[in-house]
Each structure stands twice: as structure tokens, then as C-alpha cells.
């Protein structure tokens, strides 16, 4: 296990940070939260958003640093809310999305996460995580954040993400999958 | 009336351009469409979005140049879809917004437009236009674009924007109000 690696994670979302840190810790990697706002590009491509934000951050914060961007993509809504999930959550919330899904037979959806990481040499590395599932009929659970109460992952279709502890969610979530790839990359780089 | 002023309008949306051009022409100002994509910032502030896009554009295109950003802000949905109107239109469309508004008593909404203009000396000027109105119960009309079929302006509450010709819409629309301010500014600058 690599010793003494410390990754700065650029996010103002404490929940996101805690999920990411928990994964990195499994690999003996430490993380600190850098809760600053940097510019974000308006794009429908999570990779583009993550890279742009990372490059903005690097103007102010020395590497190694990681940013993460994620979204909930609902098939029947043409991918909505996608990269704009956090704005959509803040405005219409889980209730709004459930209203849009009322009577929809196809409830397939996936969460996607892109971690952009800049190493000490300012080289950018990208890590992608996906979890497939369905939109529940009603919001359930109190763990997690964002659209967690209305998403049931394929691996545990009877539960929403918000009915799982952080540890349970981290076994299968899009975010944990992307950060696990980062952790494996860092572990391999340091050996 | 100023002669020989030509404003480049940066937009890939032909309808937007035609609306803007029609207003500028009233003042004897000519306009050409520059249908290129430049980077867009993800922000909830139309002014910030317009300035950012203008500054990106200026890296590639010489001034004078104008960009326009607009959005539909619905009170009962906490301002949704706001600056993300074009993405929301592409994904859930008018039908999605009407579904979100089903049974809502408060149907108040407004369209907002921000025109950012860079003059020959690269100085940035901002012009703001707003039109208040309500969200209709059903989509009506075939003129215009975007959320026009579900927005009834206060000035003509019996009609949606999509039931008005471009000329009629231009008498009261957010976009025409912002571009009219630009036209007046240009006319005054040239005299």
C-alpha cells in the first residue's frame, strides 16, 4: 500500500468528499477537501466539465489535485438531468423528477462520475465510473444526498442509494468506481 | 440613424439571430450571424454566462461582436429551467415543463435575456431585457422556438409567444428589449 499520498479533492459538497475519501482510505491514500469554487463550463460532456474545472483549479492550487463531476441520466427523459443534476436537484428536486417520470414504463437510468486528476507534473488523468439502475416510484431513505432517494442500483434493486449507508453505497456507486480507479492508478504509480 | 454599423452576433440559433437582426434593423444597424461554438460557463447567472462567452469569442473573432444568453424562469419551480433552458428544452421539452406545472396555482414566470457586446476597443457593455408572464396550461402555436409555445406574456395574456409572428413577439420579448438597448447604445455612440 502506498504511504504518504495525499490527494486534494476540489469540491464544496461534503458528502461527495466523504464518499471519495472513504474509497481512497481503503488504499491507504489520504484526502483533504478543498471547498473552493472554480469556474465550470456548461457542457453536456462530463469529461469536458471535469477537465475544464481541473485546469481552472490548477491556476490557484498546486497538484496533486482531483475534481469530480457526476450526473444522473434518465433514459426516458433523453438523459435529463445529466450534467445539470445539481441545479435540477436544487430547483425541482426529487419530487420534480418523479413527476416527470409519472406513468413512465421505462425507468432505466444511470449515475455517471468522472474524476479528473492532475499529478505532480500537471499531467491530467481521467477515471470513469458508472452504475446502472432504475428510478423508484417514490423517494425513499435518508442517507446520501441529491437524487439518491429515487435511484435503485441494479446490484440492489430493492433499495435506493438513500437507503444504504455510505459504506454500502460505496461498494457499487459510480463515484466509488471512479475513485477506486484513481486509487489503483496512484497505488501502481507509487510502487 | 447610424449608417454602416455592422454587429456580429455569435449564436448557432437561427431564430435567435433573426429576432435580434429584426430589432437592430429598425435602428438602421446591420447584423450577421456567426454560428460558431465557443465555451460556455456553467453558472446560474446569465450576466456571467454572457460575459464569459463573449470573452471566449474575442479570442477568435474581432469586435464589434455580441452574444446573447436567455432563459425561462418559473417561480413555482424555483427559477427552473433558468440558464439551462436550452438543455432542458432539448431533453424534457415543453411537455416536461407542463408536467412539472400540473396542478400549480402559481404559474408566474419570466423570460430574461442578457446581451453582452464588445465594442471596437474591446470594452464590454451589457444589456438586459425581461418579459413577465405565465405558463400556459397546454402548448399552443407554431411560431418561434424553445419554450415559446407555453409562455403567455403579461402584455398579451391570451396568446403564447408561439402564437405571435416574429414581429409581434419582438414588440415585447425579453430578447428584443435587450437588443433594443444595444441598438440605442450604438445609435447614441455613433452620433
| Average pLDDT value over all residues in chain B | 93
To the nearest 10 degrees (0 to 180), the angle between helices A93-101 and B93-101 is 120
User: Can you tell me the distance from the alpha carbon of B109 to that of B130, in angstroms, rounded to the nearest whole number?
Assistant: 10
The pLDDT value recorded for residue A2 is 53
B100/A102 touch (CB, cutoff 8 Å), yes or no:
no
Do A52 and B44 lie within an 8 Å CB cutoff? no
Whether pLDDT at B191 is above 70: no
pTM for the model = 0.87
DSSP state of A131: E
What's the whole-number mean pLDDT along residues B87-98?
97
Can you tell me the distance from the alpha carbon of B53 to that of B55, in angstroms, rounded to the nearest whole number? 5
Evaluate if residue B64 carries a pLDDT over 60.
Answer: yes
- Residue-level pLDDT at B60: 87
Buried b (16+ CB within 10 A) or exposed e, B96-108: bbbbbbeeeeebe
Q: Domain segments of chain A: what residues?
A: 6-190
Contacts of B76 in chain A (CB under 8 A): none
Residues from A contacting B (CB-CB < 8 Å) are 39-44, 49, 52, 77-84, 87-88, 90-92, 96, 99-100, 102
Chain B residues interacting with chain A (CB cutoff of 8 angstroms) = 39-44, 49, 52, 77-84, 87-88, 90-92, 96, 99-100, 102
Smallest Cβ–Cβ distance between A80 and the set B44, B83, B91 belongs to: B91
N-to-C CA span, chain A: 8
CA distance A96 to chain B (A): 6
C-beta atoms of A91 and B102 within 8 A: no
H, E, C per residue of A54-122: HHHHHCCCCCCEEEEEEEEEEHHHCCCEECCHHHHHHHCHHHHHHHHHCCCCCCEEEEEEEEEEECCCC
CB of B59 closer than 8 Å to CB of B95:
no
Q: String of b and e for A12-21 (b: at least 16 CB within 10 Å)?
A: ebeebbebbb
CB contact under 8 A, B43 and A42: yes
Q: Please indicate whether residue B7 or residue A43 has the higher confidence score (pLDDT).
A: B7
Cα distance between residue A169 and residue A148, in whole Å: 10
Catalytic site includes residue B95: no
A37, A76, A80, A109: best to mutate for the B interface, most B CBs within 10 A: A80
**Residue A1 in 3-state DSSP?**
coil
Q: Where would I find the H helices in chain B?
A: 14-26, 46-58, 85-91, 93-101, 166-172, 174-190
Q: Which residues of A are catalytic?
A: 69
Catalytic pick from B69, B75, B119, B148? B69
The answer to whether residue B10 scores a pLDDT higher than 60 is yes
pLDDT (tens place) for every residue of chain A, 191 residues total: 456 789 999 998 999 999 999 999 999 999 999 988 777 777 888 998 899 889 989 988 999 999 999 999 999 999 999 999 999 999 999 999 999 999 999 999 999 999 999 999 999 999 999 999 999 999 999 999 999 999 999 999 999 999 999 999 999 999 999 999 999 999 998 75
A88 → chain B, closest CA residue: B80
Q: What is the pLDDT of residue B41?
A: 77
Radius of gyration of chain B (CA): 16
CA distance A141 to B174: 42
| H or E segment to which residue A22 belongs | helix A14-26
Are B34 and B191 contacting, i.e. CB atoms less than 8 angstroms apart? no
Nearest CA in chain B to A94: B100
- Out of 3.30.360.10, 3.90.950.10, 1.10.760.10, 3.30.1330.90, select the CATH number for domain B6-190: 3.90.950.10
Cβ of B79 within 8 Å of Cβ of A99? The answer is no
Task: In whole angstroms, give the CA distance from residue A56 to residue A42.
Answer: 14
Amino acid at each position: 500500500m502506498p504511504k504518504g499520498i495525499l490527494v486534494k479533492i476540489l469540491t464544496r459538497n461534503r458528502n461527495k468528499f466523504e464518499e471519495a475519501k472513504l474509497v481512497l482510505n481503503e488504499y491507504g491514500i489520504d484526502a483533504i477537501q478543498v471547498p473552493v469554487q472554480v469556474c465550470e463550463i456548461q457542457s453536456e460532456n462530463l469529461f469536458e466539465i471535469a477537465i475544464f474545472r481541473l485546469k481552472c483549479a490548477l491556476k490557484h492550487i498546486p497538484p496533486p489535485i482531483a475534481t469530480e463531476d457526476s450526473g444522473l441520466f434518465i433514459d426516458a427523459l433523453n438523459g435529463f438531468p445529466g450534467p445539470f443534476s445539481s441545479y435540477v436537484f436544487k430547483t425541482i428536486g426529487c419530487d420534480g423528477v418523479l413527476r416527470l417520470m409519472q406513468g413512465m414504463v421505462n425507468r432505466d437510468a444511470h449515475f455517471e462520475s468522472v474524476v479528473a486528476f492532475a499529478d505532480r507534473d500537471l499531467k491530467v488523468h481521467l477515471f470513469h465510473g458508472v452504475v446502472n439502475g432504475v428510478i423508484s416510484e417514490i423517494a425513499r431513505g435518508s442517507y446520501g444526498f441529491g437524487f439518491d432517494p429515487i435511484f435503485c442500483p441494479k446490484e440492489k434493486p430493492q433499495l435506493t442509494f438513500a437507503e444504504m449507508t455510505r459504506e454500502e453505497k460505496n461498494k457499487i456507486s459510480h463515484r466509488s468506481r471512479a475513485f477506486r480507479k484513481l486509487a489503483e492508478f496512484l497505488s501502481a504509480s507509487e510502487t
